[in-house]
Chains A and B, each alone.
Chain A
Amino acid sequence: MSGSTVAGDPSTWAHALVKISPYTFSAIGIAVSIGVSVLGAAWGIYITGSSLIGAAIKAPRITSKNLISVIFCEAVAIYGVIVAIILQTKLESVPQSLLYAPESLRAGYAIFASGIIVGFANLVCGLCVGIIGSSCALSDAQNSSLFLKHRGLQEHDIPLLWSVGVPWTCLPPSEISNPFLQEDPYVEEQRGNMDLL
Chain B
Amino acid sequence: MYGFEALTFNIHGGYLEAIVRGHRATLLTASDYNNLCQCETLDDIKMHLSATEYGPYLQNEPSPLHTTTIVEKCTLKLVDEYKHMLCQATEPLSTFLEYITYGHMIDNVVLIVTGTLHERDVQELLEKCHPLGMFDSIASLAVAQNMSELYRLVLVDTPLAPYFSQCITSEDLDDMNIEIMRNTLYKAYLEDFYRFCQKLGGATAEIMSDLLSFEADRRAVNITINSIGTELTRDDRRKLYSNFGLLYPYGHEELAVCEDIDQVRGAMEKYPPYQSLFSKLSYGESQLLDKAFYEEEVKRLCLAFEQQFHYAVFFAYMRLREQEIRNLMWISECVAQNQKSRVHDSVIFIF
Known: A43-B7, A47-B6, A58-B23. 10 other contacts (CB 8 A): A46-B11, A47-B10, A51-B10, A51-B17, A53-B15, A54-B14, A54-B16, A134-B308, A135-B308, A141-B18
With a cutoff of 8 Å between Cβ atoms, the chain A residues found around residue B22 in the complex are 54-55, 57-59, 141
Residues of B near A59 (CB, < 8 A) are 22, 25
Residues of A close to B341: CB separation below 8 A: none
11 sample A-B contacts, Cβ–Cβ < 8 Å, listed by A number: A50-B10, A52-B18, A53-B18, A54-B14, A55-B19, A55-B21, A58-B22, A59-B25, A134-B14, A135-B308, A137-B18
Q: Is the CB of B10 within 8 A of A138?
A: no
Cβ of B26 under 8 Å from chain A? yes
In Å, the complex CA distance between A138 and B16 comes to: 12
Write out, one digit per residue, whether chain A residues 136-153 have a CB within 8 A of any chain B CB (1) or not (0). Answer: 011001100000000000
Leading 9 A-B pairs by shortest Cβ distance: A54-B18, A58-B22, A50-B14, A55-B18, A54-B15, A47-B10, A50-B10, A51-B18, A131-B6
Q: CA A197 – CA B19 in complex, angstroms?
A: 84
Question: B residues near A, CB below 8 A?
Answer: 6-7, 10-11, 14-19, 21-23, 25-26, 308
Contact residues in B for A141 (Cβ distance below 8 Å): 18, 21-22, 25
Complex CA gap A134/B21 in Å reads: 12
CA distance in complex: A53, B21 (Å): 12
SS of A interface (majority):
helix
Contact B23 A134 (CB under 8 A): no
- Assess whether B19 is in contact with A57, with CB atoms less than 8 Å apart: yes
Chain A residues closer than 8 Å to B19, beta-carbon distance: 54-55, 57-58
Residue of A nearest to B15 (CB): A54
Residues of A within 8 A of B25 (CB): 58-59, 141-142
The residue on B at minimum CB distance from A134 is: B10
Q: Is A127 on the interface with B (CB-CB < 8 A)?
A: yes
Given the contacts A58-B22, A59-B22, A50 and B15 also touching, CB distance less than 8 Å: yes
| Residues from chain B with Cβ under 8 Å of A50 in the complex | 10-11, 14-15, 18
Q: A47-B14, A50-B14 are in contact. Are A138 and B21 (CB under 8 A)?
A: yes
Specify which chain A residues have a CB less than 8 angstroms from the CB of B18 in the assembled complex: 50-55, 57, 137-138, 141
Q: Which residue of A lies closest to B11 (CB)?
A: A46
Nearest-Cβ distance from residue B150 to partner chain A, whole angstroms: 41
Once the chains are docked, how many angstroms separate the CA of A137 from the CA of B19?
12
Collect the chain B residues with CB atoms within 8 Å of residue A138's CB.
Answer: 17-18, 21, 308
Distance of A137 Cα from B25 Cα, bound (Å):
14
A54 to B15, CA, bound (A): 5
Which residues of chain A are near B11, meaning CB under 8 Å?
Answer: 46, 50
Find residues 71-101 in chain A having any chain B CB closer than 8 Å to their own CB. none
| Bound-state Cα–Cα, A57 to B17, Å | 12
Chain B residues, CB < 8 A from A58? 19, 22-23, 25-26
B28 to chain A, nearest CB (A): 15
Closest CB of chain A to B202's CB: distance in Å?
15
Residues of B within 8 A of A137 (CB): 18
Shortest Cβ distance from B88 into A: residue = A54
* Contact indicator B21/A142 (Cβ below 8 Å): yes
Please name all residues of chain A whose beta carbon is closer than 8 Å to the beta carbon of B26 when the two chains form the complex: 58
CA distance A46 to B10 in the complex (A): 8
Which residues of A have CB within 8 Å of B23? 58
Could you say which of A43, A46, A50, A59 has the most chain B C-beta atoms within 10 Å of its C-beta?
A50
